Structure 1
């Protein structure tokens, strides 16, 4: 049986580091791509390392040779100047998609964010917010993730590539604050989401929320379930501690982006 090879960009980042051991499988090789060589971690399986920049098309073409699927986590995960977030997140994603097209890699998972929809108000939604809700970014970072998703749509429509945008809520070992009770994506569920997105037959273009099965969730799980995602964890296990530390949430503060909606545009934090 041939080895399955998955390219993981941004493999030295928080989410990439959380996933490496969780995605390890017999017969699978993770090809780790980042600006710096990722540190050794316990429990990881077969790995290869390629260093380079996400906006270097030639390097990406070489890195994608022999790859079956891509998990794209590389780029800025916070606010920065328009020039920087568009160069790294938007143009970098174009380079990745174009490199995949040139090398015949057809399954692309794009790491997106809840901040593509930050200015939606939860009280204006009819029930849980759907995975494909229209973009209303809350920051330049959120805007760049909208560009990431639209690039994926373009490459699906023009070239038939299977592209799944993972609109990640809050992926940490434990949920953080009030928003975490709704938006947490446990590391184990993150791995389950990635596995579902890799193996779903002919998904086409999809936008799905990356959250766990949280009791207080704001977002729909239906789009993820349609590709086989079955989250098992619930931030409610941490609710008593979070509420003791933070108090009850203010019901008037119901923008999806939370405090990000008030940040000065383009100022790093």
Structure 2
């Protein structure tokens, strides 16, 4: 697939969106930015639209003329269901409808490992969790990401809009917990993965895990690699310091028993 020229980046004021505003343009993308919060654009950066996904006219204007969409917008932690419904479920629906009306044919959807959060983690760190493992959301947030994956599948089958749903682990400049050693996605690898998702041919609806090539990886990256993604980073250089400060993951600890970590507790705890 020819690399898209203009890409709408939703959630551009968020943590991951801010990182991608710097890291995606070197791949040749011209970004159009969208967020409900004002975006402090750098000099020469693309136009920025401040609106909510529920504002249909603003969303129509945002998708007009773009070649693809990277959809990062939404609530990224657990919240009351009514808030998750509005931002993550209805908001994603509004985005896909706007894309359909505008003829946009490729979307990269920021799903999450929390869509399968109650999956038991591999005790041996084998990286064995397949991408087709049954969904077991750990929160309303995780539930909304499963909905987004199904919505993407529907719009592929019904309208021919291709989507790569990326079950992102934890994307920070460096891992901050022992759990993150297994699911860390470096910002540079995040940009590599999004670029692969935007340019791979014939993806239909593809689900991939989003992480770096971590020594302690819990899941299977083969579907991401099939897109052309070649992760370059590994969390292992951070392991000794984090293990000394926090200790190893204990099998009997409910926060350590599942892929979703502390999101699987009642109530969920974070940052995680």
Superposition TM-score tier, normalisation by shorter sequence: over 0.9
| Partner in structure 2 of residue 158 of structure 1 | 158
Distance in 2 between residues matched to 1:154 and 1:213, nearest whole Å: 31
CA contact (8 A) 2:177 2:242 kept: yes
Distance in 2 between residues matched to 1:239 and 1:3, nearest whole Å: 37
| Partner in structure 1 of residue 171 of structure 2 | 171
| Partner in structure 1 of residue 17 of structure 2 | 16
SS in 2 for 1:132: coil
| Partner in structure 1 of residue 41 of structure 2 | 40
How many residues are matched? 266
Q: 1:135 to 1:26 in 2, by over 3 A?
A: closer
SS in 2 for 1:32: strand
Q: 1:45 to 1:19 in 2, by over 3 A?
A: farther
Task: After TM superposition, give the deviation of residue 95 of structure 1 in Å.
Answer: 0.4
Task: After TM superposition, give the deviation of residue 27 of structure 1 in Å.
Answer: 5.2
Q: 1:15 to 1:26 in 2, by over 3 A?
A: closer
CA contact (8 A) 2:127 2:217 kept: no
Higher alpha-carbon deviation: 248-257 or 28-37:
248-257
| Partner in structure 2 of residue 116 of structure 1 | 115
| Partner in structure 2 of residue 141 of structure 1 | 141
Task: After TM superposition, give the deviation of residue 150 of structure 1 in Å.
Answer: 1.0
Query: TM-score, normalised on structure 1?
Result: 0.93
Q: 1:3 to 1:183 in 2, by over 3 A?
A: closer
| Partner in structure 2 of residue 188 of structure 1 | 188
| Partner in structure 2 of residue 129 of structure 1 | 129
Distance in 2 between residues matched to 1:3 and 1:89, nearest whole Å: 25
Give the unaligned 5+ runs of structure 2: none
SS in 1 for 2:107: strand
CA contact (8 A) 2:122 2:129 kept: no
SS in 2 for 1:70: strand
What is the alpha-carbon root mean square deviation over aligned residues? 2.4
Higher alpha-carbon deviation: 51-60 or 70-79:
51-60
Task: After TM superposition, give the deviation of residue 3 of structure 1 in Å.
Answer: 8.1
| Partner in structure 1 of residue 261 of structure 2 | 258
Query: TM-score, normalised on structure 2?
Result: 0.92
| Partner in structure 2 of residue 58 of structure 1 | 57
SS in 1 for 2:58: helix
SS in 2 for 1:164: strand
| Partner in structure 2 of residue 79 of structure 1 | 78
CA contact (8 A) 2:130 2:220 kept: yes
Q: 1:45 to 1:146 in 2, by over 3 A?
A: farther
Q: 1:45 to 1:250 in 2, by over 3 A?
A: farther
Higher alpha-carbon deviation: 242-251 or 102-111:
242-251
Q: 1:3 to 1:72 in 2, by over 3 A?
A: closer
Give the unaligned 5+ runs of structure 1: none
Higher alpha-carbon deviation: 129-138 or 196-205:
129-138
